[in-house]
Chain A
C-alpha cells in the first residue's frame, strides 16, 4: 500500500476506513466478553474454593450435576421467577393506567413528568436504604401510617412471607414511572384517523382501548417489557442492602445466590457454573422473544 492510499484511509476518504473506526470497540468488547465467558467456562469445570486454592482440581460437569440437585438453586430460580413475573405484571398494568391518565391535559404536566422520572434514576443502593428506613418495624413511616389506620405493625423485611412482596413493592415504585413514560411515548404517537372512524361506527371508550389503543401501542409495551425483563434478571443492589437474600433464602434471586456462592462461600467453581447457566437462560429467552416479535411483525 502506498503512502497516498494510506493517507486517504486515515482521512476516512475510502469506504473501508470504517474498519479503523470500529476496530477499537470490537477489540475491547471481544476482550471483555469472550475472555470472561471462556474463563468462566473453564472455572466452572473446576472444584475451586478461594479459601483453599491448593485443593483446586478438575471435576468436569461436577458443579452442574451438583446444581441440578441443589434445592437452593431451584429455590432461587423460583424466587427470581416470582420477582420478575409479579414486578413486570404490576408495573405494566399501573404503567398503562398512569400513562392513560397523563395523556389528558392537567395542571403542571411538564413538572409532573420530571418528578415522575426521579424514582427511576435514583441510585439503586440509596433506593434500598430509603425503603429500609420506611419499612423499619419500630420507627418506619409505613408502620406509623398503618398503625394510625388501626393495623398491627409488621416486620416487613424480616418476615418470611412479607419480605419478597416488600421488595417487589420497591421495584414497582422505582420502575412503574419508566414503564408509564415509555407507554406515554407510544400513546402520543397514535394516529387520529382510526379513532374518528371508530367513533363514527359507535365504539365506546372501552372498545376503543382494547381494539385500537392496545394493539397500536404493543411495540412500546414490548420495549418496556424487554428492558424490565433484562434489568430484573440482573437486579442486585437493592436486594443486597435490604435483605441480602434473607430472611433465610426468602428473597434470594439467582444473582444473589451466585454472588453469595462465589464471594461468601468462596465456591468460585460453582459460582461460575451458576453464572453460565444464567447466561444460557437469558440468551435463550431473548432469542425466543425476538423470534416471537419477528413472527408477529
Chain B
C-alpha cells in the first residue's frame, strides 16, 4: 500500500472513532426534533422533517423553565461566592511567604474527595431542622464545597504565570499592594477568572445528587427536573431528549470556549 493510501485509511479510521464518540450526543439532538412516530420508527430515521413540538411541550407549563432558571441561579451564585473567597486565597498562596503551601493546597483539594453520601446526610438532617431544605442558600453553600477547590487551583496556576514585577512597578509608583492587586493583577487575570468561572458553573450545572436530596418543588434544578419526564406510563422520549438538549447545549458551548483550560481544570493543575 502506498504511503498516501495508508494516510488516507488512517484518517478514516480516526474519524470513524471520533464519530462513534460523538454519535450518542447527535442522537439526543435528532430525537429531540422528531415526532413520536419518527422517534419510534425502525429502522431509525436520520432524515426526517424536524419539529419543535417536543420543545414546546417541555416549555408549555413553565415548570421546566422555572427549574432551568434555578440551575442558572445556583450556578451563578455558587461561582460568584467561590471566586470571592477563592481568589484572595489563591493570591496569598502565590505571593506571600507562607509555611506549608502545598499541604494547604492539597487540603483544599482533599475536601473534594469526601464521599457525597457522607457529606450530604448531616446537611440534610440539619437543613431539615432549620427549614433550609428547598432553599437556594442551602444548595449554593453545598455547591461551593466542590467549586471552591477548582477556583483555588486554577487561579493559583494563573497567578503564577503573571510576573510579580508588574505589581512591584505599580507599588513603586505609590499604590498599596491591595490597590496593585485590584488594578494590575485582577485585570491581567481576566482570562483565568473567566475560565475558572465557567468551569465552576459547569460543575454546578451538571450536579445531581445534592440537588436531588436538598431541593423540592421550589428550588429543584434542571438535572433533577428532567427525571420527571420518566413517568409510570413510560419514558416520554421526545420530551426527555428536548429537555436533555436544553441542559447539555450550554455546557457544550461553554466547554468549547474554555477548551484550553478544561483538562487542566479537571486534573487541578496536574497537567500544565
Interface residues of A (CB under 8 A from B): 10-13, 15, 17-18, 20-22, 24-26, 28-29, 32-33, 35-37, 39-40, 43, 98, 101-102, 104, 106-108, 112-127, 129-134, 139, 141, 144, 148, 173, 176-178, 181-182, 185-186, 220, 223-224, 226-227, 230, 233-234, 236-237, 240-241, 254-255, 258-259, 262-263, 268, 271-272, 274-276, 278-279, 282-283, 286
Smallest Cβ-Cβ distance to B207: which chain A residue: A237
| B194 part of interface (Cβ distance < 8 Å) | no
Q: B113: which A residues are within 8 A, CB to CB?
A: 230, 282-283, 286
| B144 part of interface (Cβ distance < 8 Å) | yes
Q: Is the CB of A25 within 8 A of B121?
A: no
Query: Could you mark each residue 247-266 of chain B with 1 if its beta carbon is under 8 Å from any beta carbon of chain A, else 0?
Result: 11001100110010011001
| B18 part of interface (Cβ distance < 8 Å) | yes
- In whole Å, how far is A202's beta carbon from the nearest beta carbon of chain B? 23
Q: How far is the CA of A255 from the CA of B208 in the complex (A)?
A: 13
The total of chain B residues at the interface (CB under 8 A) is 89
Picked from A18, A186, A259, the residue with its CB within 8 Å of the CB of B98 is A18
Q: Is the CB of A115 within 8 A of B244?
A: no
| B223 part of interface (Cβ distance < 8 Å) | yes
Q: Is the CB of A28 within 8 A of B144?
A: yes
Picked from B96, B145, B213, B266, the residue with its CB within 8 Å of the CB of A17 is B96
Q: How far is the CA of A224 from the CA of B93 in the complex (A)?
A: 25
Q: B107: which A residues are within 8 A, CB to CB?
A: 29
Picked from A39, A125, A186, A278, the residue with its CB within 8 Å of the CB of B208 is A125
- In whole Å, how far is A103's beta carbon from the nearest beta carbon of chain B? 11
Q: How far is the CA of A22 from the CA of B13 in the complex (A)?
A: 51
Q: Is the CB of A123 within 8 A of B248?
A: yes
- Told that A130-B28, A223-B267 touch, could you supply 20 new A-B pairs with CB distance under 8 A? A10-B178, A12-B176, A13-B177, A25-B85, A32-B141, A106-B11, A121-B252, A123-B205, A123-B223, A129-B244, A130-B25, A133-B31, A148-B43, A177-B21, A181-B263, A186-B271, A227-B266, A240-B208, A282-B113, A286-B110
User: Which among B117, B124, B178 has the greatest number of chain A C-beta atoms within 10 A?
Assistant: B117
Q: Is the CB of B121 within 8 A of A234?
A: no
Picked from B24, B93, B230, B252, the residue with its CB within 8 Å of the CB of A131 is B24
Q: Is the CB of B21 within 8 A of A123?
A: no
Smallest Cβ-Cβ distance to B119: which chain A residue: A36
- In whole Å, how far is A104's beta carbon from the nearest beta carbon of chain B? 7
Q: How far is the CA of A258 from the CA of B119 in the complex (A)?
A: 12
Q: Provided the pairs A21-B89, A124-B208, A133-B237 are in contact, do residues A236 and B116 lie with their beta carbons within 8 angstroms?
A: yes
Q: How far is the CA of A224 from the CA of B271 in the complex (A)?
A: 10
Q: Is the interface of A mostly helix, strand, loop or mixed?
A: helix
Q: Is the CB of B98 within 8 A of A129?
A: no
Q: Provided the pairs A106-B10, A126-B247, A258-B117 are in contact, do residues A39 and B22 lie with their beta carbons within 8 angstroms?
A: no
Query: Could you mark each residue 69-91 of chain B with 1 if its beta carbon is under 8 Å from any beta carbon of chain A, else 0?
Result: 00000000000000011101101
Query: Could you mark each residue 177-214 of chain B with 1 if its beta carbon is under 8 Å from any beta carbon of chain A, else 0?
Result: 11101000000000000000000001001101100110
| B60 part of interface (Cβ distance < 8 Å) | no
Picked from A104, A112, A119, A274, the residue with its CB within 8 Å of the CB of B25 is A119
- In whole Å, how far is A164's beta carbon from the nearest beta carbon of chain B? 19
Q: Provided the pairs A15-B96, A124-B206, A173-B21 are in contact, do residues A272 and B255 lie with their beta carbons within 8 angstroms?
A: no
- In whole Å, how far is B223's beta carbon from the nearest beta carbon of chain A? 5
Q: How far is the CA of A166 from the CA of B8 in the complex (A)?
A: 33
Q: How far is the CA of A240 from the CA of B208 in the complex (A)?
A: 10
Q: A115: which B residues are within 8 A, CB to CB?
A: 18, 21-22
Q: B18: which A residues are within 8 A, CB to CB?
A: 112, 115-116
- In whole Å, how far is B236's beta carbon from the nearest beta carbon of chain A? 11
Q: Is the CB of B152 within 8 A of A21?
A: no
Picked from B86, B114, B226, B227, the residue with its CB within 8 Å of the CB of A25 is B86
Q: Is the CB of A118 within 8 A of B255?
A: yes
Q: How far is the CA of A35 from the CA of B120 in the complex (A)?
A: 11
Task: Rank and list the top 5 A-B pairs by shortest CB-CB distance, nearest first.
Answer: A275-B118, A11-B176, A39-B122, A18-B96, A258-B117
| B92 part of interface (Cβ distance < 8 Å) | yes
| B42 part of interface (Cβ distance < 8 Å) | yes
- In whole Å, how far is B85's beta carbon from the nearest beta carbon of chain A? 4
Q: Is the CB of B266 within 8 A of A11?
A: no
